[in-house]
Amino acid sequence: EPEVTQTPSHQVTQMGQEVILRCVPISNHLYFYWYRQILGQKVEFLVSFYNNEISEKSEIFDDQFSVERPDGSNFTLKIRSTKLEDSAMYFCASFRDRGVNTEAFFGQGTRLTVV
Amino acid sequence: GENVEQHPSTLSVQEGDSAVIKCTYSDSASNYFPWYKQELGKRPQLIIDIRSNVGEKKDQRIAVTLNKTAKHFSLHITETQPEDSAVYFCAAPLSSGNTPLVFGKGTRLSVIA
């Protein structure tokens, strides 16, 4: 069964450093998302991406964040200058389309720890 | 935009009993309501979903009901088993259409053997 893969599984970084989280969505999917889950809390929407551009973003997704699909397969989330409060599990999700049957397929997540 | 409220935040039931988790949503245009199960340390996975053209959907021990007038939907798990222990999240679309999804705060279900 096809699945969304994310790397790395765990990233430890110093405050102020840049991190790039990588995702490979399911190959025939068209819509890609990043979600964040702080430990013990709910899954929060960050940004959606379609046709090589951001389609929607939340208040969390400020100027410190950016997304890119550099080579047609990878989908990346960059945090320019990490803060302690960026520590969370980051999930990539892909959707086949925006139609009625739109199950979100989540990757296994990247646990980001900012120290 | 959509606001999804979920309760209870924690729920403990005896094995074999039923569990019910409820969610309310704010956008009357929402038309797709999935439920995700997240086991400890794992990714959320879809367990059941319902669309606004039906009031109830069942899949073995799991069912979801939708009341569009009241703008709430519920997850029902019957004959609970220890492996049902997890965090359950409801979700609704951020805006008209089905994606992106906004999630409730989650319900930690514990099934006691």
Percent of chain A with pLDDT over 70: 95
DSSP letter, residue B10: E
Cβ distance A42 to B45 less than 8 Å, yes or no, reads: no
Which 3 state secondary structure label does DSSP give B58? strand
Q: Is the peptide bond before B44 cis (omega within 30 degrees of 0)?
A: no
Q: Find chain B residues with C-beta within 8 A of A107's C-beta.
A: 43
Q: Do A45 and B102 touch (CB under 8 A)?
A: yes
Q: What value does the CA radius of gyration of chain A take, rounded to a whole number of Å?
A: 13
B31, B34, B94 ranked by CB distance to A56: nearest: B94
Spatial contact of B77 and B62, defined as CB atoms under 8 Å apart: yes
**Tens digits of per-residue pLDDT, B82-105?**
999 999 999 988 766 546 888 999
Q: What is the mean pLDDT of residues B28-41?
A: 90
Q: Which residue has the higher pLDDT, A42 or A101?
A: A42
Question: Percent of chain B beyond pLDDT 70?
Answer: 95
Nearest to A90 by CA among A13, A28, A1, A30: A13
Q: In the predicted model, is pLDDT for residue B2 greater than 80?
A: no
Could you read off the pLDDT of B62-75 as tens digits, one per residue?
999 999 999 999 99
Q: pLDDT tens-digit profile of A74-91?
A: 999 999 999 999 999 999
Q: How far is CA A32 from CA A7, A8, A102, in A?
A: 16, 18, 12
Report chain B's mean pLDDT, rounded to a whole number.
91
- Contacting A with CB below 8 Å, chain B residues are 31-32, 34, 36, 38, 42-46, 49, 51, 89, 94-95, 97-106
User: Which residues have CB under 8 Å from A17's CB, separation 6+?
Assistant: A81, A82
**Would you say the C-alpha torsion B111, A106, A108, A77 has a positive or negative sign?**
negative
Measured between CA atoms, how close is A30 to chain B, in angstroms?
A: 12
For residue B32, the model assigns a pLDDT of 87
> Which residues fall within 8 angstroms of residue A1, CB to CB, at 6 or more apart?
none
Give the residue from A115, A21, A27 showing the smallest Cα distance to A75.
A21
Give the closest of A31, A41, A109 to B99, CB-based. A31
Confidence of residue A100 (pLDDT cuts 50, 70, 90): very low
| Of A102 and B24, the one with more pLDDT | B24
